[in-house]
Amino acid sequence: MFCLARVALPKLAAAAAAAPARRAAVSAIAAARVSLRPAPAASLAFARLFSAGPAPLTVQQIEDRVLQLLKDFDKVDPSKLTLDAHFTNDLGLDSLDQVEITMALEDEFSIELPDRDAEEILTPRQAVEKIFLNKNAM
């Protein structure tokens, strides 16, 4: 027992000596945590404005972007391009070209069109309508 006391007492003495330093470190950490707490909601009322997303696209913006995308498509003759030009009858595009256009529209506006909706798009105006109805269009 005497040997155990020789070993245990110095460890207890060292722990007791270190206790005030630990308490000081713990209180410093607690003070830092208190200072990092968010301010009351009343002082952050203006922050609500930052959470608003971008303004929704207007029909005119969508029309301009759709027409520009189609003008850049190599198989479309820009002189024949109007909002009411039929992809197959007026522009001479085939079904594969329509799929490519649909994919390009999805990329341009960061949306995903269901297959059923994509099959219904036969003119730029129909594309504009589908994109305008999609709330995720950017």
For tokens 């190599």, what's the residue? Answer: 74
pLDDT of res. 54:
73
Instruction: Report the candidate in 121, 103, 100 with the shortest Cα–Cα distance to residue 112.
Output: 103
Catalytic residue selected from 64, 72, 77, 94: 94
Which tokens sit at 35? Answer: 């200072």
Mark whether 115 is an active-site residue: no
pLDDT of residue 57: 87
Burial (Cβ within 10 Å: 0-12, 13-18, ≥19) of residue 116 = exposed
Cα angle 64, 69, 72; round to 5: 125
**Token digits of residue 105:** 């529209």
Query: How would you write the pLDDT of the chain (138 residues) with one tens digit per residue?
Result: 555 555 555 665 666 666 666 666 656 665 655 555 555 555 555 555 555 667 788 999 999 999 999 999 999 999 999 999 999 999 999 999 999 999 999 999 999 999 999 999 999 999 999 999 988 888
